[in-house]
Amino acid sequence: MPTRKDVDGDDRSGVMRWNDAKVSPDGNLFLGSMAYENQKDQGSLYRLNKDGKKLENLFGSVGISNGMDWSVDLSRMFYIDTLSMRVDQFDYQNGQISNRRPLVQITDGMGYPDGMCSDANDNLWVAFWLGSCVRCFDGKTGKLLDEIKLPAQKITSCVFAGEKLDKLVITSAVGNPGEQIDLDQYPQSGFIFIASPGVVGKKTNLFGA
C-alpha cells in the first residue's frame, strides 16, 4: 500500500502523523495529516483509492485535519481543519473535490471543531474540543440548530449508531500528553457518551465497497 513518502517524497517521520480518516460512500478513504507539535499549515489531505493502490495528496497547508462527511446525494463533501476554525464544503464527484468554500465559521468561546458526522438530513454534528458539547449545524446554511452539552471538556468525535441509527455515540479525551488535566472539574473526561438527538444518521461506509 502506498505511503506519504511515496506521494510526497518525505514522510517526515517523527514530525507528521495521520489524524482523522473516513471512507466516502463510494468506497474511497480520505485521510489527513498533522504535525505532532500542532504547527499550522504543515499537514495535508489525501485520498486512498478504493482499490488501495493509489494515494494522492489533494491539498496541503492543513493545520489539524479532522472531521469529514458527505451529503446524502454525494454532491458535496464536508471537512474540518481545526486550526482554521471553520467547517468547509467542497463539490464532490467521482472521488474528486473542488470549489472549497466556508460553510460554518466558529467564533471565539465555542471551542475547537474536531470530529464530525452528518445525519440523514445533511445536517452536521460537530464535536468541540474545549467546548464540552456537540453542536448541530444546518448542512446548507451553516446555521446553528442544536447543542448537546456534555460533562467533559475535550469532545473529540461522534457517529450515529444503533439498530435504527438514532443514537449519537460521542467520544471524549482526557487530554494530550503533558497537558494539565482538571479531573476534579471534569471527572468523566475520556468517557464515551450516547445521546438520542431525535434524528437518524447514515450507515458507516466500508473501504473498497
| pLDDT, tens digit (0-9, with 9 covering 90-100), for 129-138 | 999 999 999 9
- The pLDDT of residue 61: 95
pLDDT greater than 70 at residue 92: yes
pLDDT greater than 70 at residue 169: yes
Least confident of 16-30, 83-97, 111-125, 182-196: 182-196
CA distances from 101 to 69, 78, 86, 163 (A): 15, 10, 10, 35
* β pairing state of 124-129 and 16-23: unpaired
Q: Which position among 81, 114, 119, 122 bears the catalytic label?
A: 114
Q: List the Cα angle 20/14/63 in 5-degree steps.
A: 45
CATH architecture of structural domain 4-195: 6 Propeller (2.120)
Summarize the confidence of residues 49-66 as an average pLDDT: 95
3-state secondary structure of 196: coil
pLDDT greater than 80 at residue 12: no
**Known catalytic membership, residue 114:** yes
The x, y and z cell numbers of residue 29, run together, are 478513504
